Structure 1
Amino acid sequence: MIKMQVIGNLGKDCVVNTVNGKNVINFTVAHTEKYKDSQGVNQERTIWVDCAYWTDRTALAPYLTKGKQVFAEGQPEVRSFTRQDGTAGASLSMRVRDIQLLGGRSENTVGGGSSYGNGASAGNTAAASVSSEADQIDDLPF
């Protein structure tokens, strides 16, 4: 088995489709790498990964919006195609197994996030209960 992981921002809002009675959430993740070329000039390269998340957890879809930063893990697939001008092309796609929301440019919060996939689900409720418990400890006189 080959495993692929990508951290990046969503290029556009996700789309939920139903194929043969099963739900799939389709989205595209852009990962940008910065590097120096052989002349020492700073360069940027963006790799776009088309993602398909086959799941019944479509309640996640409203959170997968343009600019949102995500961590996605799954199995890579390379698709070859022929362009309209007759030249060959290829695209990188991933069949998502797990996804974690990391944040976005419009959010003011740092860290935190929610994880979805293979029965693992974590929300911010646990963090909220821990912080309220920590506030109570601060009231102790010693």
Structure 2
Amino acid sequence: MASRSVNKVILIGHLGKDAETRFTTSGVSMSRFTLATNRRVKDNQTGEWKDETDWHNVVAWRQENLAQYLTKGKQIYVEGRLQTRSYEDKDGVKKYSTEVVAEEIFLLGGRGEGPSGGDSWSDAPAQRGPVSQPRPRTAPAAAPASEPDFGGISDDDVPF
């Protein structure tokens, strides 16, 4: 019987700084950014609730146009896997670094937070078109002709 394992990470958080894109010597792009996730925990001694923040290092390969959309403070959804690398520092001491290798990235938030508030990128070969282009999305079905009239109020007027 074959042994199976799972390495899957799903995060929703805010960007700690603008994403940076660099290129390997062979011309492959690599975008890096940090993602903050928060949780509320109750302090056992005082009984008060407090917020705790975890920081995650994320890398996205072959997505050179991605960094222009990933700016500090934006909320995003990241799906990927954990990867640990080892390297030696200046003094020859072996160090380890664990990061999330992103396979899916979705911009979250309202219309004011991005080009369309819902663009996504995928690194899955079966789903990806040309490198670093957003995946095509299907248009929503046409609304029935008998929609109620809301006095000129549109989706753009809703604050969320």
TM-score scaled by length of structure 1: 0.72
Indicate conservation of the 8 Å contact 1:48/1:92, yes or no. no
Consecutive unaligned residues in structure 1, runs of 5 or more? none
1:29 maps to which of 14, 32, 35? 35
Name the SS for the 1:25 alignment partner.
strand
2:21 maps to which of 16, 25, 30? 16
Alpha-carbon shift at residue 10 of structure 1 (Å):
0.4
Indicate conservation of the 8 Å contact 1:12/1:65, yes or no. yes
Return the letter of the residue paired with 2:79. E
**Greater helix share, structure number:** 1
Indicate conservation of the 8 Å contact 1:53/1:96, yes or no. yes
TM-score scaled by length of structure 2: 0.64
1:54-65 residue pairs with structure 2 within 5 A?
Answer: 54-55=61-62, 57-65=63-71
Aligned identity (percent) is 34
1:49/1:31 CA distance change after superposition, 3 Å: same
> Any idea what the Cα deviations from partners look like across 1:97-133, whole Å, max 9, x if unmatched?
11111127x9379x9512210226255x725xx4xx3
**Greater strand share, structure number:** 1
Return the letter of the residue paired with 2:100. M
1:51 maps to which of 58, 64, 72? 58
What is the aligned partner in structure 2 of residue 5 from structure 1?
10
Give me the CA root mean square deviation: 3.5
In structure 2, what is the Cα distance between the partners aligned to 1:91 and 1:135? 53
Q: Which has the larger radius of gyration?
A: 2
Query: How many residue pairs align between the two structures?
Result: 130
Consecutive unaligned residues in structure 2, runs of 5 or more? 1-5, 129-134, 149-160
In structure 2, what is the Cα distance between the partners aligned to 1:31 and 1:80? 25
Name the SS for the 2:66 alignment partner.
helix
Alpha-carbon shift at residue 63 of structure 1 (Å):
0.9
Name the SS for the 2:121 alignment partner.
strand
What is the aligned partner in structure 1 of residue 48 from structure 2?
41
Alpha-carbon shift at residue 28 of structure 1 (Å):
0.8
